[in-house]
């Protein structure tokens, strides 16, 4: 769970960095970088995060997403 | 007023900081507040940042510089500097009858409901074909040029209210008579003849 969280965080950061870099230029290449490379990192990071939410097992102590407080 | 690019960078910075907190100390997600922070960091703020970034990219795609960044468009960019007033795009560009920094978009967008969206979807298709397919050579319009795009600016303008144009206004509005192919204003980019023309150079 925590591993997935870390990986998704890193993927989203990579996507955001690509987005920031792509905004430094105004041409078709930067646009495609934003859509293809940034979008790929970003989408995989977000999807992995969402997957980690729905796939985590409700073992209260070991899994911090399910402490039983919700 | 904060400009969109700064807003995107601020959102990206805030998003990265929040994500770093979660990545470095994932144990914070044990608490309710931590879960909220993780959800904001890994979903809400990045999605907003990406959305604003995408919007900014779409706005920038209207710029002449963007259109001309594809190699295939280079001669069309040069044609804007032809020193001949019969070249309609060149005359419009050089005399600032259209905004010079959005010259391509101004004449080639679709001035109808959802025209901007339609034009941008076509632009996305162009970018896709340029990078992943084989662009047509020579390139051509998908449909004949619609008078509506000319009349968007010219209709109602004093310089356009001459007897010649007024007499044919009905046919122009209904596209029965084309501005561009009826023999009146039929010189456009003519990129195959760029080797035979003089070019205008803007004063520094």
pTM: 0.80
Q: CB distance from A43 to chain B under 8 Å?
A: no
| CATH dotted code for B64-196 | 1.10.3820
Give the gap in angstroms from C-alpha A20 to the nearest C-alpha of chain B: 7
Band of residue A66 on the pLDDT scale cut at 50, 70, 90: low
Q: Which residue of A has its CA nearest to B27?
A: A64
Of A26, A38, A49, the CB nearest to B63: A26
Q: CB distance from A6 to chain B under 8 Å?
A: yes
Q: Which residue of A has its CA nearest to B35?
A: A65
| pLDDT tens-digit series, residues B24-33 | 998 888 888 8
| pLDDT tens-digit series, residues B126-161 | 888 888 888 888 888 888 899 999 999 999 899 888
- Alpha-carbon dihedral A17, A23, A28, A30, rounded to 10 degrees: -20
Closest to B72 in 3D by CA, of B24, B17, B139, B160: B139
Q: CB distance from B63 to chain A under 8 Å?
A: yes
Give the gap in angstroms from C-alpha B103 to the nearest C-alpha of chain A: 15
Max distance between CA atoms of chain A, in angstroms, equals 51
Please report, for chain A, the start and end positions of each structural domain, with discontinuous segments joined by +.
Answer: 2-55
Question: Which stretch of DSSP H or E encloses residue B150?
Answer: helix B147-154
pLDDT of residue A65: 58
Q: How many CB pairs under 8 A join A and B?
A: 102
Distance separating alpha carbons of residues A51 and B39, to the nearest angstrom: 13
Does the interface ipTM go beyond 0.85? no
| pLDDT tens-digit series, residues B183-197 | 899 999 999 999 999
């Amino acid at each position: 769970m925590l591993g997935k969280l870390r990986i998704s965080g890193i993927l989203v950061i990579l996507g955001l960095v690509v987005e920031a870099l792509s905004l430094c230029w105004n041409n078709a290449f930067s646009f495609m970088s934003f859509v293809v490379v940034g979008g790929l990192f970003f989408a995989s990071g977000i999807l992995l995060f969402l997957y980690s939410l729905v796939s985590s097992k409700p073992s209260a102590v070991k899994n911090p997403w399910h402490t039983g407080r919700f | 007023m904060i400009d969109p690019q700064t807003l995107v960078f601020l959102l990206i910075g805030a998003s990265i900081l929040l994500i770093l907190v979660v990545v470095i100390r994932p144990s914070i997600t044990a608490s309710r507040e931590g879960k909220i922070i993780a959800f904001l960091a890994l979903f809400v703020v990045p999605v907003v940042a990406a959305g604003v970034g995408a919007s900014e990219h779409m706005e920038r795609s209207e710029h002449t510089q963007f259109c001309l960044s594809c190699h295939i468009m280079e001669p069309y960019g040069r044609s804007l500097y032809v020193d001949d007033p019969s070249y309609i795009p060149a005359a419009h560009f050089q005399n600032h009858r259209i905004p010079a920094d959005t010259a391509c978009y101004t004449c080639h967008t679709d001035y109808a409901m959802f025209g901007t969206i339609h034009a941008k979807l076509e632009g996305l298709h162009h970018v896709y074909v340029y990078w992943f397919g084989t662009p047509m050579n020579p390139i051509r319009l998908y449909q004949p040029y619609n008078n509506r795009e000319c009349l968007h600016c010219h209709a109602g303008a004093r310089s356009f209210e001459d007897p010649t144009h007024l007499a044919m206004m009905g046919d122009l509005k209904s596209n029965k008579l084309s501005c561009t192919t009826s023999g009146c204003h039929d010189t456009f980019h003519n990129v195959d003849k760029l080797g035979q023309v003089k070019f205008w150079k803007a004063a520094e």
